[in-house]
Amino acid sequence: MAKVRSVYICRECGYESAKWNGKCPECGQWNTFEESEAAPVKAASSKSRSTAVYSSDSILSLDRIDSDYHETRYSTGLTELDRVLGGGLVKGSLVLLGGEPGIGKSTLLLQICKHLGKNKTVLYVSGEESARQIKLRADRLGVKDVSLGILAKNDAEAICTTIEKEKPDVAIIDSIQTMSIAGINSSQGSISQVRECTNLFMHTAKNMEIPVFIVGHVNKDGAIAGPKVMEHIVDAVLYFEGQQNMSYRILRAEKNRFGSTNEIGVFEMNDDGLSQVANPSEMLLAGRPWNVSGNCVACVIEGTRPILAEVQALVAKSAFSAPRRTSSGFDYNRLYLILAVLEKRCGLFFGGLDVYINIVGGLWLDDPSADLPIAMALYSSVTDKMISDKITAFGEIGLGGEVRSASYIKQRIAEAERLGFEKCIVPSQSLKNIDTKKFGVKVIGVSNIKQAFAEI
Ligand code: TYD
Ligand code: MG
């Protein structure tokens, strides 16, 4: 009998090795190798290559392929989720919804059944909760009078066969870590089980042309357990983020074959499930202090939507010889760059001072135009000069201290106006073709950071 060959696979990044390693050479994580059965390898030499060939009919001309938009996309009933998906759920797509345990993944998916189940059949497969527990949750969420089937099982092959037989319009698998294939000699949630189960669901989604959602728990480092191997199989990877003790949640696309990955969706967890937050700026700015220095409101673009977020900076005397710099929600290296520009171009010195930056609401600002509000917040904190709560700013900062142009100017100014701001500090470069008098907010163009500071 042929000997079964083993391979060792890294749980974090999927790197395969013939021998066990303490440290993964690919991702550098320790103690992540798991033993797994290697798939039999067939030599692909020309001698042994199969003679099968696809007929010319199987090659479709691009113009003849039907891609009617309304046919191939379903609305989930939650506009925030639809936006992150790129305009709705695509037929035949496999969507991975990742997030920490308890963040609200099952709640979100059960809630979309409320809308989808009205005119479509949905199969909800749960390997985590019993049918009765799901029913209790559905009652609480007000999911009733829908065609929703619950299957509390975890044999992935049997589930796929059931999907092929029952032909639901949408299938939900909660969660991939509880699914298993009997023929694979490793435990549930192991890398080979997760990979093979995902492959199986992918085939089912493509064959049946139905959208399939897969829930994946992330481990404490933020990676989906059994992670990268899954991310490249599926069509879209959505992450559900937020802090357990805060009520709002942010849905973000990490990968999307059918839409942009810049969009975010904002939800709030209430007693009766998740509700959509159509105006995240209002939520993010609620409860803002108005009489302290170091606060500035940034107007950034997330995807195609302007969002106003509060930037907080605290500059304090350091007790250490090497002062601390911490940044939450903003790129750490970018903070160093801004500090260097402030030192060199404005003569503000941060040596011997600790610097803390925080973006309120767990938001991550990767729009370069967050530079100016960060610089203003730092300036405000170091000089102890308060910035009025009616001022908002945006603009990228260059190494010469210049404020560079930004995109979506009109949308940003309109959002500031809508939320009752009185002054909007913007890069003057961007105002060339814009009539600033049209807005109900005073628009001030600045070309360098000194001019911006003079407006505080
Ligand atoms: P859940 O969807 O079970 O999380 P996941 O599937 O990501 O592990 O969400 C569980 C959390 O949500 C739990 O802490 C309670 C909270 N929750 C509410 O606050 N309100 C609700 O209506 C529901 C259903 C859950
Ligand atoms: Mg769950």
Q: Which two tokens stand for residue 337?
A: 């760059």
The residue ranges of every structural domain in the chain are 6-37, 71-277, 283-454
Q: Which two tokens stand for residue 56?
A: 């010319």
According to CATH, the topology of domain 71-277 is: Rossmann fold (3.40.50)
User: In the predicted model, is pLDDT for residue 72 greater than 80?
Assistant: no
Which pLDDT score is estimated for 30? Answer: 87
Confidence of residue 349 (pLDDT cuts 50, 70, 90): very high
Q: Is 19 or 361 the better-scoring residue by pLDDT?
A: 19
Query: What spacing in Å lies between the alpha carbon of 103 and ligand 1's midpoint?
Result: 6
Q: What is the pLDDT of residues 249-301, one digit of tens each?
A: 889 888 999 888 777 888 998 888 899 988 888 877 888 887 899 999 999 98
- Distance set, CA 354 to CA 72, 338, 344, 346, 351 (Å): 53, 15, 18, 18, 8
Question: What φ, ψ does residue 312 adopt, rounded to 5°?
Answer: -120, 135
Protein residue with its CA nearest to atom 22 in ligand 1: 273
Is the C-beta atom of 193 inside 6 A of ligand 1?
no
Which pLDDT score is estimated for 150? Answer: 94
Confidence of residue 45 (pLDDT cuts 50, 70, 90): low
Which pLDDT score is estimated for 4? Answer: 67
Query: What spacing in Å lies between the alpha carbon of 91 and ligand 2's midpoint?
Result: 24
Q: Write the DSSP symbol of residue 189.
A: T
d(CA 90, CA 105): 19
Q: Which residues pair with 171 in a beta bridge?
A: 123, 212
Average pLDDT (58-72) is: 73
Which pLDDT score is estimated for 123? Answer: 95
Chain-centre distance of CA 157, in angstroms? 30
**Atom number, ligand 1, closest to the C-alpha of residue 247:** 19
Q: What percent of the chain has pLDDT over 70?
A: 93
Q: Which of 24-33, 128-137, 198-207 has the lowest mean pLDDT?
A: 24-33
Three-state SS sequence of 315-367: EEECCCCCCCEEEECECHHHHHHHHHHHHHHHCCCCCCEEEEEEECCCCCECC
pTM for the model: 0.75
Query: What spacing in Å lies between the alpha carbon of 118 and ligand 1's midpoint?
Result: 23
Q: What is the pLDDT of residues 155-200, one digit of tens each?
A: 999 999 999 999 999 999 998 999 999 988 778 888 888 889 999 9
d(CA 28, CA 329): 25
Q: What is the pLDDT of residues 224-233, one digit of tens each?
A: 555 567 888 9
Is the C-beta atom of 137 inside 6 A of ligand 1?
yes
* Other Cβ atoms within 10 Å of 383 Cβ, number: 14
CATH of domain 283-454: 3.30.230.10
Buried b (16+ CB within 10 A) or exposed e, 318-333: beeeebebebebbbee
- Distance set, CA 293 to CA 272, 290, 386 (Å): 38, 9, 4
d(CA 393, CA 70): 39
